[in-house]
Structure 1
C-alpha cells in the first residue's frame, strides 16, 4: 500500500507524459515510476527517515521527493540558495539524508547522526516545510500524508483537472503553492511543464503556448511581471484556466485576467491558502468574480471557514471582522522547532490563520488585514494591509510596515513619496509626522514572491535608530556652524541669518550624520526638523547622492576661477557664476529679512566674508608697510587705485568688494518702506523691475565712467548677474521660469554673440546662462557618493580657496618656478591652491567646533521645549 494517493497514477506506469521540460525531454509516468522506485530503494524501507532535499527545479529533485514519499519517509523541502536556513535546519532537525547538488552533481548523502533510533518520526509525517511566523523566526510546518492527499484531491476537483491537463510550473517547490500544483496534477494523471524561462521574459507566453499548457498558477508578483511583457496579447489556445494565490492581487489585475480568460472561453481563479493547510484552502468561483474583487471566496470542498473574535468566540454577523479559522482534513499536524517535534502526533484541529477577515451576505470572505500586521499608533488601531490597499487604489505600489511609533511605507515608484504620505495621512487619520515614506524601487521578496515584511521591518528599525542619532546631532551641528551665536531649538537656518557659506557647512555636517534633509528645511525650526528626521527615512541610494544644484555650481565656479587665474585659458565665467549664486543665495536665505526691513539679520552673513578678507588686507599692509586704503574702503574695483602702488590688494579680490557693494545696494533699495511694501505685494514682478534697472546700468554706465578694462570689476558691470540669481531664487512657477529664461537668453545672448570681443567672452556668458538654467530647472544633481563628497568639500571650501589659492604659485612655489616644467608647475599650483583652501577651511571648522563645544558645555541647562509639527508640507 503506497503512503499517498498522489503516487497512485505513477504506479500505473503508462506512457502518458508526467514531466515535460523546455529542452524537449519528457518523463512519462512509466519513467517516473521506475526512477522513483530506484530512489526509494536507495533510501530503504525500514525505519522512517527524514530526507532534506534542495528544492532546485530539476527532474532529479522531483524524483527524489516522490521517491522518498514512496518509501514512506518524511521529506523536508528547503530553498536551494539559503545557506543559513540549511545550516539552522541541519542543526535543529538532524536529517538522516540530504539530497542536493555538490560540485555540480546531485548527491544523496547519508548523515551520521548519533542516537538516531531514540528519536523516531511519527508514522503520519510526510512533509516538512519551513515558514516564518509573526516573529520572523523560521519554523517547520508538519504535514501528514492525509493532508497532502486531501488538499490535492480537493484542488483537482474544483479545477476539474484531468489527464489532458498540463500545468506551466514557475513556482518554487519548497513553497506549498508550488507543491500543490505538482500534487494536484499528479493525482489527476496530468503533466507538469517546466518553461525554463522567467515569466517576465518576452518568450514566456510563446514557450508555454508551444508546450500545450492548459493552465498556469502564479503569485500576484508573477502577474505584475507578466504585465511588463505582452503575455495577454499572445494566442494561447490550449490555456483553459489561470490561478493566483499567495497574496492580494489588485482588483484591476483580477479584472484584466478574468476578462482575458473569459474572452477565450477560459476561467480565472482567485485563491487563498496557507502553508499550514498544505496550500490552497479557499477560492472565488470564476463566475462570481466581480469588477472590484477583494474577496478570497469560499472554502474548498471538505473544508470550512469561520471567524472568531479576540476571545475565541464565533463572529457570525455579516460585515463583522474576526480572525479567519479553517477546518479540514488538510490542516497541518502542528509546528516544529527541532527533531523531537517530528515525533509528535497531530495537534491542530482548526487552523487560526492570523488573517483578519469579514464575511459578506453571500457567504464570501474578504481579508482586511493581518493580526500581526496591525499597530496601535497615537491611540488608533492601524492595519498595514488596509493602508497598502489605500495606496494601491491610488495607483501606488508600496509595502507598509510600522509599530507604535508610526507607519513606514516603501513605495516602488520614483517621485511618489509625497503623494503616498498624503494618502496615508487621510486613510489612517494620523498626523503626517507619524508617517514615513521612502522610495525603494526593488521591494525585497521571499522565494514565494511575497514581500519580505520582516526585512523591511528590520530596515525600518535600523533607520529609526540612525535618525534618532542624527536628530540628536542636529542642534549641535547648528551650534557649531553658527558659533558664536547662541542657538536654540526654536531657531531656524533663516532666523539665524544663515547664508550660502553656512548652508554649505551645514550640508557637510548633515552628510556626516547621514541625513537627507526635507524640502524647506531652512525655514523649519530645529525642533520641527528633529521631529521630521525621526519620522523620515533617507531615500538615498547606496551609490548615488542628490546634491543641491547651487552647491555643485559653486564647486564648478571656484574650479573655473582657480584654473583661469593660473592658466589664463579662455575659460572665464567662474566669477560670473559666483555673482549669480550671490543673488540666488540672498533670495533663498535673506529675502525675508530684506522685505521685513530686518537689516541686521540680512547683513550678518557679510561678517563671514569680510573678516577673513580684512586679514588678507592686513597681511598686505604689513608686507608693504602702508595701508591700501582702496581695499580697506572696499572700493578698489572702481579703477582709481593700483596694486603696483600698494593702494589696493591684487585685482583678484575685486569679487569681495563687488559682493559687499551688492549687499549695500540691496540695503539702500529695501531701506525705503514704500519699496518694501511693493516688493512684498508682488515679489517676482518687483524683482523683474530691478533686473531691468540693473541691465540698463550695465549698458549705460560704462561709457559714462570710462575706466578701461578694469570696468569688468565694477558693481554696475556685474550687478545684473546678482539680480538674475535673485530672480531665479524667486521663480517658483513654470511661467516665471519661462519669463526669466527668455530675458536671460536675450541679455546674455547679446553679450555672448554681439558685444563679444574674443572667444573667452562668448564662453563666459554661455557658461553663466547654462548655470542659470540649471538653477531654474534642475533642483538637484545626482552624483556617485564619492564624487558628491569631493564636490561638497570643494564647495564648502570655495571662499578660503578663493582667498588663498594664488599664494601657492606666487609665494610658496616661487623657488621652483624655473626648475619645474611649465605644465607640472601649473598642475601643482592648481592642486595646491585647492588644497590650501580646504586645509584652511578645515582648520577654521575645527577651531569653531572647539569654541562651540565649550559654549554648549557652559550653557547645557537642558533643551528648550520642542513643539511638534507635522511634515505634511514636505
Structure 2
C-alpha cells in the first residue's frame, strides 16, 4: 500500500491519556491564562469543551496529526484535542513542519499558514482516512533532544505521558493552587512536561512567549501570582544577567532546572538564594526518551551535593552497566546509567513504517556515564558519545567544556582525530591557552572559533550540529590576509613584541595593558579609520577583516581623528602637571584625574580575562611595568642627586616617610598607585571575589567606592602620613568603565557630584577632577586634528615616564623659561619611555628563548591531563 493510500477507518474506542480525558473534572478552576493585551482566563470546563470540539473536527478515524506547538491557547487546544481524539500527535516547533511533512506524510496538519508564527491554526486534512498503520499504544512523537527537524523521533505511549506527569507532580508536590509560567516551548519535552503535570493536578499554566530577560515577563509573574518556572542552564545564565537575585517574587514556590548539567557552584548559589528567598530549587535529569524526567535532586540536598542528579523519580529506578572501553579511567564504580520505569519510550521511529511497531525497548541506556554515591544519590561524570581521541589522547569534551566554564568561558567543544575545536563566546586567546594547559594538547591541535553567541536550539541547548558546521566554515582570515606590514597582526606583533599573534588573539589576551594601549589604539585607528569601541577585546581576525573592508575617506582624516577620551585625558593631565610645577600656569587636580583614569584602565585591561589565573598573571605583569621603570629612575636620581632615600627607591615613602611635604614626596602618585593595584590584585585573587566580579562587574567597584569613602571622609585612618586618600577616585574610574547603560553612568556622575566637591577645599581643583571623571564616563571618544592626535598619543603613552623624570628636569630650566622647562621635561620623559619600552620588549624575547631550552614540566601536564580525563 502506498503512503498516500488511505487505510480503512478504525472506529474502535481510542486509548486516551487519562489526564486529558479528565480535564472537565476540574470544573471551574483556572486551567490556562493567556498573556498580552487580550488576557483571558480559561477554566478547565471551557478548555475541555474546546478540546472536545477540536477532537470532533478530527473525527473518529485514528490518524497521524502534525501539530505546530506554541505557547498559546490555540496550539495547546490543538495538541490536547488530537490526544483526546485518540490520534497520534507529531509535535513540531512553530514553522518547523517542513522536513517532517515529507518524511512522515501526516494525515492532518494543524499549523499556521505559510509558516507564520502568529494568528490561528489552520486544520488541513490531507486525506479522509489514514495512510498509516498506527500502533494502539502510540500517542506522541517528539524529536530527540538536540535533533529538531530530524526524521528520528521518539515514540511515546499513553502510559508514558500519564506516568511521567504523575511522577513529576508527585515529587514537586504540585497543588491545584499552583500556577506555572511557560519559560520553555511546549514542543520541547521539558516544557511539555510542565503543561502535563499541572493539568494533571488541576493547576494553572500562564502561556507566554516572553523571555526571562524581558521586564514584562517578571511583571507577568508578579501580577499572575506564578508559583514556579522552569529553566535550562542557559536560562540561569540569563537570570544572572537580569539581576534575578534582587527580584521580589512573593508568590514563587519553586524553580526547576533540567535540559543539561548546571555547574555545581551555580546550583549551590541558586539553592542558597532560594533558601533566603523562600523558594526551592529542584535540579532534575531527563531525556525525551524517558518522556521527560528520570531523576531529581531533593532541594534539601542541593547545598551538600550540588553536582548530583539525585534519585530516580517515583516509579523509576537506575542501574549502572560496565563500559569496558573506559578501563577504569573515570574511577571506580563508573558505568553507563540505565533507567527503568513506565515512562521509558516504546522506541524510535525513523520512517512511517515504524509507527506500527510496539515496544522495542524495556530499559533506557542513557549514554551518560555515572556513579552511585554512598548516600544513594547518583551523579553524571561524562557522556559516552562525547569522548574523542586527539593525537592519541582520550578527551572528554563535556569535561573540557566544564573546565572552560570554571574559568568563566562560555564554550562548546567538538572534536576529531586531528584536532579539538573550541567554539567560544568570549576571549579566544584565553580559550586557547586554557585548552592547551588543561588538556595537555599542543597548540596546533586546538582550533578556537570565536562566535558572538553560541548557537542554541529552541530548547536552549547547544546546537552542536550548527557548531560543527561553523567550525568547518571560514573560521580564520583568508590566507595571506593580515600577514603584511599594514596588518593588525603585524601591528600587534610589533608593539606588543608577540610574533605568535593569531587571528583569535586579542589585545588583552596578548598581555596588552594600560601602558601599551595608547600607542596601539592610535596606530590601530590609523589603520582602521574608525576605532571600534571594544577593540581591546576584539579578535585580531575580525579587526583585520574590518581593516581590509574599511573605506577611509581622505577628507575626513584631514579634519580629525577619533581618540579615546582616556588617551586625551592622560596627555592633557601630564602637561597640566608639568606646567603647574614649572609655574607656567596653575591648574591643580590633574594627578587625581589620572588616578580615576587608572581605575578606568584597570577595569578595561586587567579584568578582561575570565580566567582568574590569567588575570592574576596579567595584573602582576602590569604592576611590574609601573614598578620597574620607577625604581630604576628613582634609584639613579638618588645616586646622582642625593635628593631621595631608600624609602623612595623601594616605594615606601608614602607609608613610612615624613608627614610634612618634602622632596621625598615627589613620587607619591606612583607609590599609592602601586599600593592600590597590589591590594586589588590580592583581593581579586580570592576565588569568591573573582566570581563576584564576573557576575556583578558594576557592584564590586561600588563596594570598593564605599570602602574608599571611609578614608575620603576620615572615618577610617589609612595610616598614610601625607597624601589624601585616593582609593575612592580609583573606584569611580572603575565604575565608569563598567557603566554600560545610561542609568549606571548617571549613578557614577551622581557619585562624582556628591563626593568630589570639598575634597581639597579649592572649587577649581575639585571642578577639574569632577569634570575629568564625568567626561570619562559619558564621552568614549573625542575628535581632534590628525597631526595633534599622534602627539597626544605619544604624551599619553609616556605620561608615567614624564611624571618620573620631570622632577629632575624643570627645576634647572624654570628660571630660564617656564615654557622651555615644560618642553624639556616632556622630551626627557618621552625619551625615557622609548628607551625603557625597547628594553622591556627585549626581556620577554630573551626569557622566551631561555624557556624554550628548559625541559617541559611533563609531570604537571600529565597531572592536569589525568584530572581532565577522570572528570575530577
Q: TM-score range by the shorter chain?
A: 0.5 to 0.7
Query: For residues 690-717 of structure 1, what are the alpha-carbon distances to aligned partners after superposition, in whole Å with 9 as ceiling and x for unaligned?
Result: xxxxxxxxxxxxxxxxxxxxxxxxxxxx
1:381: which partner in 2? 394
| Contact 1:252 1:292 (8 Å CA) reproduced | no
Structure-2 separation of matches of 1:119 and 1:108: 22
Match of 2:434 among 407, 423, 426: 423
Partner of 2:87: 73
Question: Which of 17, 21, 40 in structure 2 is aligned with 1:25?
Answer: 40
Q: Provide the rounded CA distance (Å) in 2 between the counterparts of 1:261 and 1:564.
A: 56
Contact 2:73-2:207 at 8 Å conserved across structures: no
Instruction: Please say if 1:40 is aligned against 2:22.
Output: no
CA contact (8 A) 2:411 2:425 kept: yes
* Cα pair distance change 1:153/1:283, threshold 3 Å: same
Residue by residue over 1:826-855, the C-alpha shift from the partner in whole angstroms, topping out at 9 and shown as x without a partner, is: xxxxxxxxxxxxxxxxxxxxxxxxxxxxxx
Q: CA deviation at 1:418?
A: 3.2
CA distance in 1, matches of 2:528, 2:160: 69
Unaligned 5+ runs, structure 2: 1-12, 510-518, 531-550, 562-627, 637-788, 838-852, 857-872
Show the counterpart of 1:436.
447
In the other structure, the counterpart of 1:304 is: 317
Partner residue, 2:267? 254
Q: Is the counterpart of residue 280 in structure 1 residue 253 in structure 2?
A: no
Instruction: Summarize deviations over 1:741-760 as a string: whole Å, max 9, x none.
Output: 9999999x99x99589xxxx
- Per-residue CA deviations over 1:656-676 (Å, capped at 9, x if unaligned) read xxxxxxxxxxxxxxxxxxxxx
> Which residue, 28, 45, 59 being the options, matches 1:15?
28
Counterpart in 2 of 1:49? 63
Show CA shifts across 1:482-540 (max 9, x none). xxxxxxxxxxxxxxxxxxxx612xx3xxx9xxx99985799788xx88xx77x989999
Distance in 1 separating the partners of 2:555 and 2:178: 75
Where 1:216 maps in the other structure, the secondary structure is strand
CA distance in 1, matches of 2:19, 2:553: 80
Q: Is 1:106 paired with 2:120?
A: yes
Change (3 A) 1:392 1:744: farther
Moved over 4 A (4+): 132-138, 311-319, 515-525, 535-540, 546-549, 554-557, 559-565, 681-686, 721-729, 734-747, 752-756
3-state DSSP of counterpart to 2:310: strand
Contact kept in structure 2, 1:68 and 1:75, CA below 8 Å:
yes
Distance in 1 of aligned mates of 2:462 and 2:205: 27
Secondary structure of 2:360's aligned partner: coil
Distance 1:35 1:549, change over 3 A: same
Q: CA separation in 2, counterparts of 1:289 and 1:348?
A: 32
Per the alignment, in what secondary structure is the counterpart of residue 432 of structure 2?
helix
Q: 1:726 to 1:156 in 2, by over 3 A?
A: closer
Q: What is aligned with 2:485?
A: 503
Q: Is the 8 A contact 2:495 2:520 kept in 1?
A: no
Q: Which of residues 464, 471, 474 in structure 2 aligns to 1:460?
A: 471
Distance in 1 (CA, whole Å) between partners of 2:23 and 2:244 is 33
What SS is found at the alignment partner of 1:99?
A: strand
Correspondence list, 1:361-380, <5 A: 361-380=374-393
1:63 is aligned to: 77
Q: Give runs of aligned pairs for residues 707-786 of structure 1, distance below 5 A.
A: none
Aligned residue runs from structure 1 range 250-649, under 5 A: 250-290=263-303, 293-310=306-323, 319-413=332-426, 416-463=427-474, 470=479, 503-504=485-486, 507=487, 519=493, 549-550=522-523, 552-553=525-526
SS of the residue 1:227 aligns to: helix
Mapped partners of 1:313, 1:186: distance in 2? 43
Report the counterpart of residue 135 of structure 2 in structure 1: 122
TM-score normalised per structure 2: 0.56
Structure 2 partner of 1:224: 237
Shift of 1:436: 3.2
Q: Structure 1 residues 724 and 539, CA, compared in 2 at 3 Å: closer, same or farther?
A: closer
Deviations, residues 129-148 of structure 1 (Å, cap 9, x unaligned) = 11356899552111111110
Q: Distance in 2 between matches of 1:290 and 1:456?
A: 34
Please give the root-mean-square deviation of Cα atoms over the aligned residues, in Å: 5.3
Query: 1:5 maps to which residue?
Result: 18
Deviations 1:249-307 (A, max 9, x none): 22232223212222344321000110111111111111111356111111111111222
Q: Structure 2 CA distance, aligned partners of 1:134 and 1:59?
A: 26
Cα deviation code 1:418-453 (max 9, x no counterpart): 333333233212223323334434221111111212
Q: Distance in 2 between matches of 1:419 and 1:316?
A: 28
Is the contact made by 2:99 and 2:149 (CA closer than 8 Å) also made in structure 1?
no
The alpha carbon displacement at 1:123 in A equals: 1.4
Helix, strand or coil: the match of 2:135? Answer: coil
Question: 1:282·1:298 contact (CA, 8 Å) conserved in 2?
Answer: yes
Distance 2:30 2:119 in 1: 25
Q: Distance in 2 between matches of 1:40 and 1:256?
A: 46
User: What CA distance in whole angstroms lies between the structure 1 residues aligned with 2:237 and 2:213?
Assistant: 9
Question: Do structure 1's residue 160 and structure 2's residue 177 form an aligned pair?
Answer: no
For 1:317 and 1:383, the matched residues in 2 are separated by: 10
